[in-house]
Amino acid sequence: MSAEQRLQELRLRYLASLSSKLDDLRSHWIEAQTGNATALDEFRTKVHKLAGSAPAYGLTSLGATARTLDEALIGEFPPDELARLFQRLDRQIQEELPL
């Protein structure tokens, strides 16, 4: 298997994992809205990891949106702004999901 084929295989695996990543993000987001600090920390960690990993698989726009949300979470932006950013990230992930 060539290096290019291997990279394509890794990218396809990453894309296939996006559905479960999105489910996890949604679950932690909902829990965080109830004031659950642990869920907020998990959400922040998952967003941070997505911001770092997505560009490595060619998903630069998705990574940039995740990075913006990550920075907003660190900066303690207002809840409505965080919700808007998460909705944007959610949509972008859905657009990348394999059919």
Domains of the chain and any CATH numbers: 3-96 (1.20.120)
Q: Tell whether the model's pLDDT for residue 91 goes beyond 90.
A: yes
pLDDT band, very low/low/confident/very high, at 95 (cuts 50, 70, 90): very high
Query: What is the CB neighbour count within 10 angstroms for residue 38?
Result: 10
Q: What is the 3-state secondary structure (H, E, C) of 21-60?
A: HHHHHHHHHHHHCCCCHHHHHHHHHHHHHHHHHHHHHCCH
Per-residue pLDDT tens over the stretch 10-48:
999 999 999 999 999 999 999 999 999 999 999 999 999
Please state, in angstroms and rounded to a whole number, the distance separating the CA atoms of residues 98 and 88: 18
pTM of the model: 0.92
Closest by CA to 96, choosing from 69, 57, 70, is 57
Per-residue pLDDT tens over the stretch 53-68:
999 999 999 999 999 9
Q: How many Cα neighbours within 13 Å face the side chain of 69?
A: 31
